[in-house]
Chains A and B, each alone.
Chain A
Amino acid sequence: MTVASDRSIAYFSMEIALESSIPTYSGGLGVLAGDTIRAAADMKFPMVAVTLLHRKGYFSQTLDSVGTQHEAPTPWPVDEYLNLKEVSARVSVSLDGRTVALRAWQYDVKGATGHWVPVYLLDTGLDVNSEWDRRITDSLYGGDKHYRLCQEVVLGCGGIRLLRSLGYDRLGRFHMNEGHSSLLALELLDEEAGKAGRDCFTHEEVELVRKKCVFTTHTPVAAGHDQFPLDLVKQVTGRSDIFNMKEVFCCEGVLNMTYLALNLSHFVNGVAKKHGEISRLMFAKYPIDAITNGVHAATWVSSHLACLFDEFIAGWREDNFNLRYALKIPKERIEAAHAKAKGQLLEYLRLRGFAGFEEGILTIGFARRATGYKRADLLFQDIERLRKIVKDGGPIQIIFAGKAHPHDLAGKGLIRRIYAAKEELKDGLKVAYLQDYDIDMSRLLVSGVDVWLNTPMPPLEASGTSGMKAAMNGVPSLSVLDGWWIEGCIEGITGWAIGEVDGAPSESERSRRDALSLYDKLEKVVLPRFYCDREAFVDTMKHAIALNGSFFNTQRMLQQYALKAYLL
């Protein structure tokens, strides 16, 4: 497929992780977007995607001797990327009464079968723009509300205009990955009104746009939804009348991007069953479905395991359901392939100055954004108990990685606490915190550790996807029951649960109970199985692949989107 007009699904996301060296993503949302597009390319979906260029990247992280995070911009040489080409089209948007010109760079994501999905990265870095305007597409999640709103106008309104100028005139579905791109729906309403030669849109046009839009919400907390004071919206967009239409824009005085998307989408979904429930209770008037996230198998399976899959599971890349046949692979072959991945990870550590990590020791991985609710320090709640578990049950080594958002002081404090625990435990067990976490490091970690640890404060982890990547690599999760793990956990078969689904009277009590459960599970189940019952441990590894790898992938996820949202 080469003709723009043949494509019918437009996917919009503020961040998309295309490759490690293009730092246009901050975490799970962007990696999910990248995996979705990679799966769409594999599955020959008629999709096109839009994001911002983020010329200065997210940020690079360095950690000093006590774990204090230091940030630096990561400008990347846009012109030097051979797989990124500037498109000749130019469009513009109006911001604060000025006309801001936009261009785009095209990156083609190639699928396993030769099909590709074009991704357009919008860029205001043009000489005709003022210096401030040129920086609008520089920083991901940087700047104040005004900067963010300008970015969202560029993404939503500018994105639609760019697609139209490139000939995408038969798009039937517009998928908003989180509320940052909701303004695209407003642009579609304006398009419909414009066709009829009117300034304002009608009820029929609202219905028409609603039929075209799909919205995936990712935020399980009330305070996390993107919103802007209406005065700011009026100043930036130069429009005032339409925002009084409560049925479309929801609230007088505030433009809530989630409500805008909820009101203008025919299909809305949360990213795991539990997250669907939470979202429905938050927004009870809206029919919110759930499509549990997935990950792109061919991207996340280590080369060592991929060779094994190629030998035993024909067509696993093209059809991920085939991963269920991992149960047929001889245990010693799974063990050997994982040992190679583990060796590669430990070599990576050694090269970065982390000495003394050994292949025979139970290695626990924990890598994700450093932020309060993910509770990276839960394992260190009771240092003496942990020391005793290691002494009695067998050695453990732990590898951490993850960036804290530059404004997230609690997240930064969490990294320092892990450094402090590392120092306190230095005679008992090895702890490493790898700096400047990215996709490549993530791939090494999810495939090279023995157990993947996940300890969010429920119900704040909408889905979580790193445990899915680990599962694909035969690495079982030891995780709090939240997000995807409520669906993925079969106790002792695919991994192990920490704590109960239902909550405790307070957050501190929940943390206390979860830490106790984590210690018990480590001491009584995981360590004995790892060191004394290898047969059972490798069986858990195989079931992680067969039951969770075959399901929690972006192929299955996209099939559900096709069934429920794209084809209706």
Chain B
Amino acid sequence: MTKEQANPLNERSSSIDPVCGMTVGADSDYVVEECHKRIFFCSSHCKDKYFAIAPKDIDPICGMRVPSSSPYTLEEDGRVLRFCSVDCRAVYQERRRK
């Protein structure tokens, strides 16, 4: 199986609004794209709330949203990168070295 053949998760016919937990169809008008995947919401209210309450930082390796209290950080070009774990940070550093 190649990467292109794999089923992207947003092909599911329904999803769950990450804010309110409601089941929403994958045809919902309230959608945002994040790391090449689509996140579906039941309403503009939940869509707006998502950006207000979700942790701001995204681990650049695994894509997990991590809280600003995460101790696994790196400073790069004057900005702070946050990771979910020491492992993801190590992978990032390794890639940078290459």
Contact = CB atoms under 8 A, between A and B. Distances in A.
Interface stretch (A243-251, A305-313, A543-551): A243-251
Contacts of A256: 62
Contacts of A200: 1
B64 A222 contact: yes
A248 B84 contact: no
A541 B15 CA distance: 40
B62 A247 contact: no
A56 to B, nearest CB: 27
A131 interface: no
Contact of A251 (B6, B23, B53, B63): B63
B88 A251 contact: yes
B70 A223 contact: yes
A284 B50 contact: yes
A279 B66 CA distance: 11
B16 A254 contact: no
Interface in B1-26: 1, 3, 5-10, 12, 14-16, 18-19, 21, 23
B53 A281 contact: yes
Contacts of A247: 3, 6-9
Interface centre among A205, A281, A289 (most CB of B within 10 A): A281
Contact of B18 (A202, A203, A284): A284
Contacts of A277: 18-19, 21
Contact of B54 (A246, A259, A284): A284
Contacts of B45: none
A256 B18 CA distance: 21
B61 A254 contact: yes
Contacts of A248: 6
Contact of A245 (B3, B10, B21, B23): B3
Interface string A286-308: 11111000000000000000000
B27 interface: no
Interface string A227-247: 111100000000000001111
Contacts of A288: 16, 18
B91 A252 contact: yes
Question: What interface size band does chain B fall in?
Answer: 35 or more
Contacts of B8: 247
Contacts of A280: 16, 18-19, 21
B67 to A, nearest CB: 7
A223 B54 contact: no
A201 interface: yes
A282 B65 contact: yes
B48 interface: no
Nearest to B39: A284
A203 B1 CA distance: 6
A117 B12 CA distance: 33
Given A222-B85, A284-B39, A285-B9, A251 B16 contact: no
A276 B22 CA distance: 11
A281 B52 CA distance: 11
Contacts of B94: 253
A311 to B, nearest CB: 40
Interface in A166-215: 200-203, 205-207
Given A203-B1, A225-B84, A253-B91, A281 B18 contact: yes
Contacts of A227: 85, 87-88
Contacts of A412: none
A216 to B, nearest CB: 15
A206 B85 contact: no
Contacts of B67: 222
A479 interface: no
A250 B55 CA distance: 20
Interface string B63-90: 1111100101000000000001101101
14 contacts: A203-B5, A206-B6, A222-B59, A222-B84, A222-B85, A225-B64, A227-B85, A247-B9, A251-B62, A253-B94, A253-B95, A256-B62, A280-B21, A284-B65
